[in-house]
Structure formats: C-alpha cells, structure tokens
Amino acid sequence: MGTITRGLSNNITTGGVILPAGITNASVSAVTSFANAPAGTLTLLSTQTASASATISFTTGLNSTYDEYIFKFINIHPSNDNVYLAFQASTNGGSSYNVTVTTSVFRAYHQESDASTALEYYALEDEAQVTTFVPIIELTGNENDNGGAGTLTFFNPSSTTYVKHFISSSNTNYNDDYQINWYKAGYFNTTSAINAIQFKMSAGNIDDGIIKLYGVKKS
C-alpha cells in the first residue's frame, strides 16, 4: 500500500467521509477538472507574471467553454509614475487589438491626509465608440507603496449574436497618496467572437504583478 493510499485510508471515517487531513496538494495534483463542480466554480486557465513587460496578452482560453471569464490583477506595479493599466480586445486571435468599445465609470477616493474625498461619476474616463486601449486600473504611481489590484469580468465573449459586456472594479494607491476605488463597465460593440485580450500601461512597462484568467462553470 502506497504512502498516499495509507494516508487517505487513515483519514476516512466509518461513515465514508474523507477528513480534511486526507486531502493535500500532492493527493489532488493530477486533477485537471471536476465534472460535478457546482455552477459558479472558478477554473484557473492561465497565469502571467509581469517583469518589465510592455504588454501581457491572453491569446488562448477565451472560447465557448465558459459563458463568463474573470481576470484578476494582483499587485500591478508600473515602471512609470502616474499611469493607467489599460486593455483592448481582439477578434482575430491577437493579430490586432482595436474593437470598438463604449464605457461608463464612477469612483470613490480618499487622500491619506483626509484633505480630499469624493464619490463621483467620472465623465473624463468615459469612452464612446473608441478603438483605443481602455483604462481598467486608474492612476497609480511607481513608488513601492503604489500599485493596483482588481477584477475584470467578461460575459459570453464567444457569442456571434450579441455585443460583449464587461464589468470591472479596482483599487489603487495613487502617487499623490490617494486611495482610489474605481468601477468601470461597458461593451465591445461587435457580434464577432472575442478570442484574445491584451493589457498594457498607458506609458512605460508593467514593472511587476500577476494577472490570472479564470473560467466560471456554467449553470
């Protein structure tokens, strides 16, 4: 009897329930999917780590397998000061990123000194049928206590009938010692399937940070 088998057998109750101690990373490392996982379960599809990266592109994984995809941004840190993390979509596998997009945004911010606060609709960062890269994490600096994190959710990007909706939320430390919570939503005005997404800073490189892509199990 192997070590894993003995360990598992020692952690099964008389009622047949596997105790938490019987499940480890080693015992489930070969599992790639759970067919009976409940709807809404996140499946990690891809992870990319920035290192002075001009762009980060996801050219695989966005397909009809899932109706909903979620990007997670962890400790995004720019090389330049006072910049945005921006994104665009592709309908040709990443050959070009220039799909027409419209967005709306609001934000809340609070300065460390308590001198300035706001909760506001932010018309300055709305886009109306543009094909440029769209800011997704608002102003952040390149000091060590600056940076951003957040999520971006895409709905049914493989549809060839409807436009492609998205919702994002992010949190940043701005270079003037502001805490900014930013909410953005919009749609890519195309009925073609979107199959690639690219991220980049509005200037300079993505100095550091992790971007993860998850699929959400269908109901």
DSSP 102-126: EEEEEEEEEETTSS-EEEEE-GGG-
The pTM assigned to this predicted structure is: 0.82
Question: Which of these ranges, 9-23, 141-155, 163-177, 198-212, has the smallest mean pLDDT?
Answer: 9-23
What would the pLDDT profile of 141-193 be if each residue is shown by its tens digit? 888 888 999 999 999 999 999 999 999 999 998 877 889 999 999 999 999 99
Q: Do 58 and 138 fall within a single domain?
A: yes
Q: Do 106 and 202 fall within a single domain?
A: yes
Total count of domains within the chain: 2
166-204 burial, b if ≥16 CB within 10 A, otherwise e?
Answer: bebbbbbbbbebbebbbebebebebeeebbbbbbbbeee
CB 201 within 8 A of CB 85: yes
* Cα angle for residues 168, 171, 172 (degrees, 5° grid): 130
Q: Do 88 and 3 fall within a single domain?
A: no
**Whole-number pLDDT of residue 39:** 73
Q: Do 208 and 110 fall within a single domain?
A: yes
47 confidence band (pLDDT: 50, 70, 90): very high
Q: What is the CATH number of the domain that holds 95?
A: 2.60.120
Q: Do 150 and 65 fall within a single domain?
A: yes
The boundaries of the domain holding residue 2 are 1-31
